[in-house]
Structure 1
Amino acid sequence: MADERKKTYYVSMATGEISQLKTASPWDFQIEATDEEIARLREYFDQNYSTDWQAFWRAHVPYIQYHYDRENDAYDRTMVDLYKMIYELGNDEAKAHIRSMGILPDEHDA
């Protein structure tokens, strides 16, 4: 059975790293999450890593424009999902920063 207690984690958006050590590496957001929530967050990062590679290879096909590119759409949707989850789990500073980015649907602006 998974541990349902929330623990503090530090998340790096650039690397997809999720650490319990504040000083392990540079981080963007502090969150409080259960083991299950961390597993779901890692899945989002893994999805984006995979989609990012697909987009990289597709980028060498010059006749497909960005706005017709399914890989870019999938990457963008997953990024919004990532930020939504970090917003929900994040501390006040994380919430304020994500709100200031203006990338989430309106219900997160409250």
Structure 2
Amino acid sequence: MAEERKKTYYISIAHGEISQLKTASPWDFQIEATDREIAELREYFDQNYSTDWQAFWRAHVPYVQYHYDRENDAYDETMMKIYEMIYRLGNDETKAQIRSLGILPDDRETNE
């Protein structure tokens, strides 16, 4: 089986966008990824979009605190997967940006 070719993509975390066009919209991170890796990243963004809506509706129930909320836990866990994947696929600038955020444990940064 032939190895998949990596292409350059530009990622916007806030909008959950993945684009091959650098000038299409504002972006946060540049990565090199295969079609399969992009499909996995898109799935993470889609999961968080769904979880975000669940959290929105749950927010109208004021007696559930954030730290007892499964939707928020799921959202946070998926965001960590997104940042880990972007770190792994990112160029040197992307990796430096994510390291500067201080959100990944040191052991995850070194498991490239």
Superposition TM-score tier, normalisation by shorter sequence: over 0.9
Q: 2:99 maps to which residue?
A: 99
Q: Secondary structure at the match of 1:18?
A: strand
SS in 1 for 2:43: helix
In structure 1, how many angstroms separate the alpha carbons of the residues matched to 2:2 and 2:98? 29
Cα distance in 1, alignment partners of residues 108 and 97 from structure 2: 12
Aligned to 1:69: 69
Residue 13 (structure 2) aligns with = 13
Distance in 1 of aligned mates of 2:33 and 2:2:
12
Deviation at 1:3, TM superposition (A): 7.3
Distance 1:9 1:60 in 2: 37
- C-alpha contact 1:3 1:35 (8 A) present in aligned 2: no
After the TM superposition, list the runs of 4 or more consecutive aligned residues in structure 1 that deviate by more than 4 angstroms.
Answer: none
| CA root-mean-square deviation | 1.6
Match status 1:43 vs 2:43: yes
Q: Which runs of 5+ in 1 are unaligned?
A: none
Q: CA deviation at 1:108?
A: 3.6
Cα distance in 1 between the residues matched to 2:109 and 2:41: 21
Deviation at 1:109, TM superposition (A): 4.3
Amino acid at match of 2:25: S
CA contact (8 A) 1:2 1:36 kept: no
Q: 1:57-86, CA deviations, whole angstroms, 9 ceiling, x for partnerless residues?
A: 000000000000000000000000000000
Unmatched segments (≥5 aa) in structure 2: none
TM-score (norm: length of structure 1): 0.95
Identity %: 82
